[in-house]
Amino acid sequence: MNIPTRTRLRDTHVTLSHGGGGRAMRDLIDEVFASAFRPDAMEDQARLSDAALAEPGARLAMTTDGFVVTPLEFPGGDIGKLAICGTVNDLAVGGARPLWLSAAFIIEEGTEIALLRRIAATMAAEAEAAGVRIVTGDTKVVGRGAADGVFVTTTGVGVIPPGRDLAATHIRPGDVAIVNGVLGDHGATILAARGDLALSTDIRSDCQALGHLMEAVIAAASGTRAARDATRGGLAAALNEMAETAGVGVEIEEEALPLRDEVKGLCEILGLDPLYLANEGTLVLFVPEAEAEAALAAMRDRPEGRGAVIVGRATADHPGQVRMRTVFGGARIVDMLVGEQLPRIC
Amino acid sequence: MKYATEFRDPKAAKAVLARIAELADEIGATRAKPVHIMEICGGHTHAIFRYGLDKLVHDGIEFIHGPGCPVCVLPMSRVDECVEIALRPGVIFTTFGDAMRVPGTKMSLMQAKAAGADIRMVYSPLDALELARRNPDRQVVFFGLGFETTTPSTALSIQQAAREGLENFSVFCNHITVPEPIRALLDDPHMVLDGFVGPGHVSMVIGTHPYDFIARDYGKPIVVAGFEPLDLLQSVLMVLIQIRDGRAEVENQYARVVPEHGNPVSLAAIADVYEKRPSFEWRGLGEIDHSGLRIRAKYRAYDAEETFGIGYAAGPRFVAEPEGCACGQVMTGRIKPTACTQFGSGCTPEMPLGALMVSSEGACAAYWQYGGARATEATE
């Protein structure tokens, strides 16, 4: 991170004047965000090079997402890392190579500037690792109580190479469902980090960018049908959405689901189901059976995919439904969640 | 967690299931003449569906889902009173998470929160106590809810508040007891029950003797069970063995956790803080004598009913259940959730009409979520 040596920003906390459009705002943007992101020009609009679009048949992809999380910093990441990974992953699972991002900040009056610097530094490092550039942004300051610390909105633009077409509608009965690693770590981390539970755990968020992993999978298994980033609603929501779109059934094996003992334990105590816990670096893929081994091998070659396993497959039966064979050999429907999971009382 | 996985061993389960099938055949259990076993506790209902046990056991065994989900049996009038307290200025209303979505006449606590009430989800009454310490200018009310499992922790928080002389903490007490509704169910001439699987967590506190009357006075076997799938299956087997042998006893399958005489520290806290109400209303079951607890006069300062002049302190208030809601009939095992005319149409987890669809431990929600109904339709 590149912080100018002669700093003009002497405040320790954000005040409304940092959002007023004057010198104070300029200083905040320069010294906290621009110095970390180093965009090509300090203008409101980024002018993107067209080299990436030069190939005939290449398509643009665009996505946007707002990020709110309590606490702003947690084991394994912070809101900035979430904002970069979330948007990069949305592009990646659509088959796009993520290239450019915008970042808009809504900052509550009173927020520590040191915290903003840490968030900006994480974002810069994460963007660089993911191979994307933060090319434009926006900063607004709102009064105390009008926001919860910091909200971040990122928009991402990427390019889908010619001939690549991932879509849930391509999923066929017999295709296998693969995930890249353990489930529920992010959701469990946030629950524990909120401090409402007198529980200490070593769980860290799985927050990570999946662009490189997706490229590796597609290179090894060109027939890859569709991918999703299993975020809110967990694996259950991602699979339900894909089953419904594709008009196929999905059957998963409880025994195959990669879950940490700590996550299982936390869920047991609180009466939650890990299938519905949020993830921030979990890829769900459908691949033709013939290419499954190649996809798995390519994934396991990368750190983001080391724990890749087959969790189930698409079926012609019960279209639109996700079912799980329990460790007991029983079967149950894994439905979409209604609202959020609420811890039970005993 | 290795401890838990041992209770989910598929091989062991298969062996127990085979024994259950053998015994069921020996007893002559068929779909026409099934053995009705009531699992009293909502936690058991949830586990049965989560592991698909209802479909794995012999056809002649039918689980009847009992009244043991404290959120489900909470009458609507009490939810309304929670909302009333929560909406008062200066109040911080604290509750366990799964009570948030239970519908009241006008709104649920979740909706009251959106309407501006300061409602916080807590994981223990001690968290509510801490909120009271940190907010001396606010009145912090804890929604005391649950059976004997959660009753002691509420009692301890009241004792602690009294020791500290906290003046801004109170409990809206809705604690209820297990034995009385079971007696009420057994007295119901329409009930057809052959045996019970007893609630393990409750028995950690009260032991096994409070169920003696089930075996002694009503001649029904009861086995206190743990919550892992193998615990449940083994308990079903133990009930069947009693039926085959013509015995009716209280047996303890969950002996690794449940002491015969309960937990003396918890029992002492309960006896110190609460006394029985003459009667308490249960959703779907109506008023049941001596089935609820209220805070003793010596802790009156911590009784939200007194502080806010609400609930039984203000006189009984009965709110009729929504029309078409058959929660009561489901809870007494008279009909299956799917036989309710509202199931899946007027009443879904998105728009629950009755409480059994709200809590994840409610029979209807379990049927819906784990596809008790839909899975069967689709595959058979």
What is the complex's ipTM, to 2 decimals? 0.75
A97-118: b (≥16 Cβ within 10 Å) or e: bbbbbbbbbbbbbebebebbbb
Find, in chain A, the residue whose alpha carbon is nearest to that of B122. A196
B184, B285 contact by CB (below 8 A): yes
**Predicted confidence (pLDDT) at residue B343 exceeds the cutoff of 60:** yes
Tell me the mean pLDDT in the region A164-169.
96
CB pairs under 8 A between A and B: 105
Higher pLDDT, B167 or A47: B167
**Predicted confidence (pLDDT) at residue A258 exceeds the cutoff of 90:** yes
**Predicted confidence (pLDDT) at residue A296 exceeds the cutoff of 70:** yes
**Predicted confidence (pLDDT) at residue B378 exceeds the cutoff of 50:** no
Question: Rounded to an integer, what distance in angstroms lies between the CA atom of residue A338 and that of residue B98?
Answer: 13
To the nearest whole percent, how much of chain A has pLDDT over 90?
A: 76
Q: How confident is the model at residue B109 (pLDDT cuts 50, 70, 90)?
A: very high
Strand segments (E) across chain B: 35-41, 61-68, 91-95, 119-121, 139-146, 169-175, 195-199, 222-225, 250-252, 274-276, 279-282, 286-289, 293-295
Q: How confident is the model at residue A112 (pLDDT cuts 50, 70, 90)?
A: very high
Phi, psi dihedral angles at A313 (to 5 degrees): -155, 160
**Predicted confidence (pLDDT) at residue B235 exceeds the cutoff of 80:** yes
What pLDDT was estimated at residue B254?
Answer: 94
A228, A242 contact by CB (below 8 A): yes
To the nearest whole percent, how much of chain B has pLDDT over 90?
A: 64
Residues of chain A found within 8 Å of residue B370, distances taken between Cβ atoms: 332-333
Q: Is A172 left (phi over 0), alpha (psi -120 to 50) or beta?
A: beta
Q: What is the pLDDT of residues A36-57, one digit of tens each?
A: 998 876 566 777 777 777 788 8
**Predicted confidence (pLDDT) at residue A104 exceeds the cutoff of 70:** yes
Tell me the mean pLDDT in the region A196-225.
90
Rg (CA), chain B: 21
Taking the model in full, what pTM does it have? Answer: 0.84
**Predicted confidence (pLDDT) at residue B316 exceeds the cutoff of 70:** no
Find, in chain B, the residue whose alpha carbon is nearest to that of A327. B10
**Rounded to a whole number, what is the distance in Å from the CA of A91 to chain B's nearest CA?**
31
Tokens 């259940």: give the residue: B321
Inter-chain touch A196–B123, beta carbons under 8 Å: yes
What pLDDT was estimated at residue A345?
Answer: 61
Q: Which of A265, A323, A344 sits opposite B360 (nearest CB)?
A: A344
DSSP state of A302: S
What pLDDT was estimated at residue A341?
Answer: 75
Question: Rounded to an integer, what distance in angstroms lies between the CA atom of residue B124 and that of residue B150?
Answer: 9
Inter-chain touch B121–A261, beta carbons under 8 Å: no
Q: What is the pLDDT of residues B253-271, one digit of tens each?
A: 999 999 999 999 999 999 9
**Predicted confidence (pLDDT) at residue A88 exceeds the cutoff of 70:** yes
Higher pLDDT, B303 or A198: B303
Q: What is the pLDDT of residues B33-55, one digit of tens each?
A: 999 999 999 889 988 988 889 88
Q: Is A343 on the interface with B (CB under 8 A)?
A: yes
Q: Report chain A's mean pLDDT, rounded to a whole number.
A: 91
Question: Rounded to an integer, what distance in angstroms lies between the CA atom of residue B361 and that of residue A236?
Answer: 19
What pLDDT was estimated at residue B377?
Answer: 44
What pLDDT was estimated at residue A253?
Answer: 95
Tell me the mean pLDDT in the region A327-345.
78
**Predicted confidence (pLDDT) at residue B364 exceeds the cutoff of 60:** yes
Question: Rounded to an integer, what distance in angstroms lies between the CA atom of residue B308 and that of residue B82?
Answer: 11
What pLDDT was estimated at residue A147?
Answer: 94
**Rounded to a whole number, what is the distance in Å from the CA of A344 to chain B's nearest CA?**
5
- Give start and end residues of each alpha helix (H) in B92-199: 109-114, 125-134, 151-164, 179-187
Question: Rounded to an integer, what distance in angstroms lies between the CA atom of residue B285 and that of residue B72?
Answer: 11
Q: Report chain B's mean pLDDT, rounded to a whole number.
A: 90
- The top-scoring range by mean pLDDT among A262-266, B148-152, B365-369 is B148-152
Sign of CA dihedral B224, B229, B233, B236: positive
Find, in chain B, the residue whose alpha carbon is nearest to that of A331. B52
